[in-house]
Each structure stands twice: as C-alpha cells, then as structure tokens.
Amino acid sequence: MTEIILHEPLDMHLHLRDGAMLRIVAPLSAHSFSGALIMPNLVPPVTDAESMRAYRKRILAAIGDETFEPYMTLFFKPEYDLDFLAPMAEELTAVKLYPAGITTNSEGGVSGFDIEELRPALGALSELGIPLCIHGETGGFVMDREKEFVPIYEALADAFPDLTIIMEHITTAESVAALDRHPNLYATITLHHLLITLDDVAGGMLQPHLFCKPIAKRPEDREALLQAALDAHPKVMFGSDSAPHPQHAKECPGCAAGVFTAPIALPALAELFARHGKLENLQHFVSSNAQRIYGLNPPKKKVRLTDTPMRVPEKYGEVVPMFAGEEIGWSIDAVSVK
C-alpha cells in the first residue's frame, strides 16, 4: 500500500454558495481541508464588512465541529479605497475581481480595465498587502478569452509591482509562461483542468457536469498546467473552483458553469501525482505554496491518503460530482486534528 500524509491542505478557490446548498457542500470541504479561500459571488455579492462577517458566520454554522478556516474575500468594486478597506484588513484574505458577466453571478463586475480608473482601489490593496484575485477572461471567442487577458494581467502587474495578483484557475500555456515574467503574478490551478480538455466536455456526447468557465482547453494547455503542478512550481497552488449547482441546473438548456470536485479533490490529486511519480510534490501544491504566498497559518490538520480505491457517490444532496458513480484509485484513510 502506498500512502501520503498531507499537512494543512488548502483549497485557494472554493464556492460554497449559501442557504441549503451551503449546508450540503461546506461540511464536505471542511472535513478534509484545513481552510479555503471563499468566493464572494453570492446574490447579492459580498461587498462590505457586514456581509463578509455574516457570511463567515453562516459558513461556520454549516460546518459544525469541523476544524476549518474560511478565508474571506470581497467582490471587487472600483470605488473601494483605503478608508473603506483598512478597518477590515485583518479579516480579509483577498479581494476577487470579476469581469462583468463573464461567469456565474458576475454581473456587477468590472466592465473596463482602465488602470487609472482602478488605481485608487488597487493602490489601497497594494498598500494594505491584500492580494487581488482575478477571473481573467475577456468577452472574446471562448477558447481565446484567457489568452487575450494575459496582457491585462501583465499591465496590472507592471502598474502595481507591490500588489500580489492571483491569476485564478488558469487554463492556458500562455498563463503559465506569464508567471515567470512577473514577480508579483501567481496562479491557482483546478483539479479538473489538470485532467480534462475540451474534447472531454464536447468531443462526443456533451458532458454537462464537466462544463465550466474558463472552459477546458487544448491538450498542450493541460500539459503546461500539469507540468507546473507536478514540478511544484513555487508560484502555483491548488484552487478547486469547486462550483456546485443542483442537478436540474446542469442537465438542461442553458447549463450552469461549474464542476463539483470538493469531496474527491484530494484523493484524485493523490492519484494523479502518484501516477506521474511526483507524490512528494503534492504537499507544496495543496498547502505549502499557498501558505507562503498568502502568509497563512492554517489550523493544524493531517489527512492520510492511501491507494485504496473508492467509489464516488452518484450525488451529494442535489449535486452531481466529478467522477459520479466511478471508481478512483485513492481515498482518504484518516483525518486528524493535531
């Protein structure tokens, strides 16, 4: 039997939703992860200290006795300034910027990227040491949206050299290459983008539970992501972008974007890294890099995984996970709090 013990695993891009959905999915992440960066694109979005604190309380209530730190974010608004952000800086792990209308619940996002218009808000984040996370896509042709956004990432990195900028859920070789050109650019990579290409989504019968934004790309893009993750690139970290939707919202016209991976993320990653002979680098990808980049001190937790197969449930509540009903080669053997 092969095993690995992960210390303080972190998910640096997680959707927990709210209400009944929150109560279904939050305990699944809280069981095996030490903490997660919580996305703010609720309806209405999390845009101030009051809504951020209230959402954190709802998350803690949903996870019960699990040891888990929800790292909170705000939905970016250009009008944010130093006076607004400073009083909540100790409670705020990052601010998330969405281009308007580019993904789920992002209608109130940024509709232009004029650096001078964004300077007051981004300057405040830089001064306070609060990272900026960006869903980096333009409104262009769907396969080119992220590639077209890379120059915007680079312009922002040059204009705000002291601002930590996280390129969220990168999917292209161009984004991987940009990491090495700018010292203040970092990235999260999802499980599903390490495993699938567009062919898996739409190459045969359409697979709605693999449809996500950014959409999965080409084999050469997947290979670039995989190489960065497996080699423990110091500027990349795991962010699941686990995005639950009810089954009826996925298996329908107008299919909602999002892949639900939270319950199976660590076993699937262990299987992937073991298959490539890189299991020793998994700790960096799922924890150490994030702790260093964000300056985190997460709650102590050990997760023991073994190469014992597990059968993925067909559903968790109303939500169909990735690999539903299939067997994956690794499973969680034990979780302990130090």
Among residues 109, 114, 108, 160, the alpha carbon closest in space to that of 137 is found at 109
One-letter-per-residue 3-state SS of 313-324: CCCECCECCCCC
Which own/partner pairs from 309-313 qualify as long-range (CB within 8 Å, at least 24 positions apart)?
A: 310/264, 310/267, 312/263, 312/264, 313/263
Residue count of the chain, please give it. 338
User: How far apart (Å, rounded) are the C-alpha atoms in residues 293 and 311?
Assistant: 34
> 48, 241, 307, 333: which is the annotated catalytic residue?
241
Is the bond preceding residue 244 a cis peptide, omega within 30 degrees? no
Phi, psi of 34 (to 5 degrees): -80, -25
Is the bond preceding residue 87 a cis peptide, omega within 30 degrees? no
* One-letter identity of residue 5: I
Whether the CA torsion 160, 166, 171, 176 is positive or negative: it is positive
Helix or strand or coil: residue 16? Answer: coil
The answer to whether the beta carbons of residues 167 and 225 sit under 8 Å apart is no
User: How far apart (Å, rounded) are the C-alpha atoms in residues 89 and 196?
Assistant: 37
CA 261-55-22 angle, 5° bins: 35
User: How far apart (Å, rounded) are the C-alpha atoms in residues 97 and 298?
Assistant: 24
The answer to whether the beta carbons of residues 258 and 13 sit under 8 Å apart is no
CA 266-70-298 angle, 5° bins: 70
DSSP string, 207-240: -GGG--SSPP--HHHHHHHHHHHHTT-TTEEE--
Catalytic-residue membership of 241: yes
* Active site members: 241
